Structure 1
Amino acid sequence: MTSAVRRRVLAPLALAQFICSFAGSNMNVMINDISRDLDTSVQGVQVAITVFLLVMAALMIPGGRATDRFGRKRCFLAGLAVYGVGALLSAAAPGLGVLILGNSILEGIGTALLIPPVYILTTLLFHDLTARARAFGVIMAAGGVGAAAGPLIGGLITSGIGWRAAFVFQALVIAVILLLSRSVPDPLPPDPARSFDVRGAVLSAVGLVLVVLGILAADDNLWLTAASMAAGALVLAWFLHWVRGEERAGREPLLSVGLFRNRASNLGLITQNLQWLLLMGTSFTVATYLQVVRGYDAVQTGVIFTAATLGVLSSSLAAERLAKRRPQRTLVMAGFGACVVGVGVLLALVRGSPTPWAFAPGLLLIGLGLGVMLTPSVNVVQSAFPEERQGEISGLSRSVSNLGSSFGTAIAGTIVVSGLSAHAYATAMAVLAAVGLLGLATAALLPRGRTPT
């Protein structure tokens, strides 16, 4: 494959990751505008954001497996179409219910269908390990920039036109991706006879939904939280029991338990989850604090997040060079270390300064840290398995990452929404710092070898 063909193939895949990550963070700066226009509360908007991330996480594993049966490109195009319909419905939403249907449900389903093919196609089309690492670097940079730049782009659109225009923007980007996708081949034919584990898909989705709903209920009813999370844990245990039984019977379950026998991949999955928890938790916490406590509008909030965007972009662009010089373990540890320091700076400088620019150093450090470690974590996981298992591991990898995003918005958002004060902000950021330290400890257990080049 020539470099020109690679660029044509990579462009729609990277742009798809960008818009899905953008969708997960751009609503953070629209909280006041949406709540006023739709006559709802900050908590209502938080629920819409979290449900979007949760639907992605719950359906990402089934979405990854569906690619084997229906084809990677076909699932990619179907996901784009569903996502586009959801974006247009969100733009016309008369109330919170329709917004949740369009943004949280349809866009979430569309993302779950289109994101696994992005990573599977990248693995299958870029055979050379150096080219594959470069391609993953571009895709993860697009995702990181989309998540970090979401508040800025969303803020500019909201302040200049209105929050509904941000969803029209998403639909236009989807149309561009559909046009660019004509050049994307599918190297493996679909297998219509391939079985699909419906019961496993339902059990995994229900279990994940119950766990995250339990977190969302924490500020209202601790008993409901405990019951929901316990029920979720039981359903997930049932799911694992089911897939083990299917494997023993010689049938193909939704998710092979063999995926969890690779130590390096398991550690990589944990770091992915914690990375996105940090990113989305910080984004929601800071954006809510700026708008609700300090009274900043959408564009002011978005501009402040420029520091995080610059950090992600600059470190992501250097990812390939860093991967040649440093082991994956070192890069992931450095990334978490920078994020922990960034959260500490946000706590220290912001508490004593009324200026919005006090947020810039901390957000820059967090952006730099995330950009450094996103690609190595993905490379650790995807490269641990052969081509025939890319559908499974890609769906699992993306599900774990999006579950981290859901946890970030649910945990940090629940703390902030319960108080809507500087004290609640400090508590949420302290929790995120603890998450960063946990990520650092996990990364220290990764293999010490260098990234393949």
Structure 2
Amino acid sequence: MTVIENSAGRTGSRLGLILVACCTGQFMVVLDASIVNVALRPIQDSLGFAPSTLQWVINAYTVVFAGFLLLGGRLADLFGRRRVFAIGLALFTLASLVAGLAFDPATLLIARALQGLGGAVLAPATLTVLFTSFTDPAGKAKAFGTWSAVAAGGGAVGALLGGVVTEWLSWRWIFLVNGPIGVVLMVLVLTAVPESRNDQADRRIDTIGAVAVTGGLMAVVYGIVSANDDGWGAATTVVSLLAGVALLVFFVLNEAKFARQPLVPLSIFRNRSVSAANIVSFTTSAALVGVLFLFTLLMQFVYGYDSLTTGLAYLPLSLAIVVVARGVAPRLITKLGPKPVLVAGSVLSLAGLLWLSVISGDGGFVGDLLGPSVLFGAGQGLVSATVTMAGTAKVPYTQAGLVSGLLNASRQVGGALWLGIMAAVVASFAHSLVPGADIAGYHRAFLIAAVFPVIGILAGLAVPAVSPEALAAAKNSWSAKKSAQSAEGDAATT
């Protein structure tokens, strides 16, 4: 039996508070992966980072976050989604305060790793709480659209907020601001979010599987980010990648043959919705990260923008993602179902990247980047708002945290892997990435990135169609099931 506490009196305003809590938590997690970029120079000057270790202000967060996502999703299912949400938020908030008060490089890097751990616990919980709280198809589509807009737009907004905070206050405030926000959010979580868990699940953790997948993901991401400095043929890079792949292969064998309570039951991937949605999540994140990376280079090296102006130039892309994911996508999903919206989003993303691959380079932001920014952002908004519904459409809510963790892991690993590869691609034609040089290198990079929405289109076509009638039937099934559970809960307490 799945126990859901305090569900009987849930009103529209209560659901609104749940949505605010989940989106705020996700925004904090996504923002801290990107907001630091524009503050690296002030951090280096303040704490005395060596150039070779400065990148780990970003990577310490990314590597740990990617490594622990699957475990975080499983914990939410087994031990209570609100409880795990609160624990992840508390760890993330405390680590942010330590990072803001750091007095040397080691302290900051440890704090950033702890932020990543807190984020890995927090992020899957935000999605699974939405999944178990919203049963109405239209409401669920709108909630997922809002959450997805925050997840997709947070990375782009981070550049703007990082520039503003660093310019007007101090780099320390990009971390310290999480303190008051985290306290207010904790109160909201404890008062508005109902507890839910799988009461009959075996709460033993697949420790071997957790160590293998966490170590494997961390080793692979570590190897890729190390390649940016040491090269792909360096011993550190090769050993890290081989160790990571070996651990991930062992993880699959362990889950298939040895684990009594698998961290990731491989049978979940027999669900075509889950498999296809994870591919789309991976490719969507890779395409977005690639565009953000190349946009930054274009605006700073070709157009000569400073950090603040670069952040402002991201606004059209960010607004397109948010407006489409929050306003347009939910209505399309409830009318057409997730599949056509998912495919249409990948098509728009592909069109935006193809447009970027032929820009002239002398038209400035308005002439070169504004149009494809809006087109690509609209496509990303459609995909990001739809992929969660596509992935969870036929999944029991007892596995909501598992699927949430998988989708988050696909998103994070896709972005991290492609960022490392993109950096190597850029380095191969660095002569075209200096002020006033030929833009042919950017054309090549955007064409390479266009491969991802093509894969996304193919994966989207593999998603089983879910009609509006099926969404309505799911609503009735969920409502009946929750009413029965509420009655059981009331009987158990009398």
CA contact (8 A) 2:78 2:197 kept: no
> How far apart, in 2, do the equivalents of 1:207 and 1:376 lie?
29
1:361 corresponds in structure 2 to 371
Percent identity reads 26
Aligned to 1:296: 305
1:140 corresponding residue in structure 2? 148
Decide whether the 8 Å contact of 1:57 with 1:399 is kept in 2.
yes
Contact 1:57 1:401 in 2 (8 A): no
Q: Using the TM superposition, name which of 26-35 and 81-90 deviates more.
A: 26-35
1:50-94 superposed Cα distances (whole Å, 9 cap, x missing partner): 442232221011111122443211111111111112212222334
Q: Secondary structure of 1:384's match? A: coil
The answer on 1:168 being equivalent to 2:185 is: no
Q: What is the deviation of 1:127?
A: 2.6
Structure with greater Cα Rg: 2
Question: Equivalents in 1 of 2:52, 2:382: separation in Å?
Answer: 33
Instruction: State the Cα distance separating 1:165 from its structure 2 match.
Output: 1.6
The 2-side partners of 1:281 and 1:43 are apart by 23
The answer as to 2:429 corresponding to 1:434 is no
In 2: Cα distance, 1:94 partner to 1:139 partner:
35
Give, as a single letter, the amino acid of the residue that structure 2 aligns with 1:441.
Answer: L
Residue 241 in structure 1 maps to residue 258 in structure 2: no
Match of 2:19 among 10, 30, 46: 10
Q: How far did 1:309 drift? A: 1.0
Letter in 2 for 1:375: A
Contact 1:42 1:417 in 2 (8 A): no
Q: Which runs of 5+ in 2 are unaligned?
A: 1-9, 435-439, 473-494
Q: Residue 335 and residue 140 in structure 1: after superposition, are their counterparts in 2 closer, same or farther (change >3 A)?
A: same
Equivalence map 1:357-396=2 (5 Å): 358-396=368-406
- Cα distance in 2 for partners of 1:77, 1:368 equals 33
Shift of 1:400: 1.5
Matched AA of 2:451: A
Match of 2:420 in 1: 410
Counterpart residue type for residue 314 of structure 1? V
1:3, 1:166 → 2: CA distance? 33
Tell me the equivalent position of 1:65: 74
Q: Conserved in 2, the CA contact under 8 Å of 1:28 and 1:287?
A: no
Aligned alpha-carbon RMSD (Å): 2.6
Shift of 1:447: 2.6
Write the distance in 2 (CA, Å) between the matches of 1:416 and 1:42.
19
The match for 1:270 is 279
> Which SS does the other structure have where 2:172 is aligned?
helix
Cα distance 1:166–1:62, how it changes in 2: closer, same or farther (>3 A)? same
Structure 1 residue 110 displacement after superposition: 0.7
Select the residue among 232, 240, 249 that pairs with 1:228: 240
Change in CA separation of 1:153 and 1:450 when aligned onto 2, cut-off 3 Å: farther
Among residues 448, 453, 462, which one is paired with 1:445 in the alignment?
462
1:75 and 2:84 aligned: yes
Aligned to 2:35: 26
- Which whole-Å CA distance do the structure 2 matches of 1:255 and 1:278 have between them? 26
Rounded Cα–Cα distance in structure 1 between residues aligned with 2:52 and 2:296: 14
- Paired residue secondary structure (1:349): coil
1:440 to partner: Cα distance: 2.3
* Inter-partner Cα distance in structure 1 for 2:210 and 2:159: 33
Equivalent pairs, count: 449
Task: Give the distance between the partners of 2:55 and 2:97, measured in 1 at CA.
Answer: 20
**Deviation (angstroms), 1:191:** 7.3
Shift of 1:375: 1.9
Q: Distance in 2 between matches of 1:279 and 1:96?
A: 30
Could you tell me how far apart the structure 2 residues matched to 1:32 and 1:416 are?
21
Cα displacement (A) at 1:18 = 1.5
Question: Using a 3 Å threshold, how does the CA distance of structure 1 residues 286 and 27 change in structure 2: closer, same or farther?
Answer: farther
For normalisation by structure 1, the TM-score amounts to 0.90
* 8 Å contact kept, 2:361–2:368: no
Matches of 1:306 and 1:42, distance apart in 2: 30
Normalising by structure 2, report the TM-score.
Answer: 0.83
1:153 pairs with 2:161: yes
The code of the aligned residue for 2:169 comes to I
Matched, 1:113 2:121: yes
Secondary structure of the structure 2 residue equivalent to 1:444: helix
With 348-357 and 432-441 compared, the bigger mean Cα shift is at 348-357
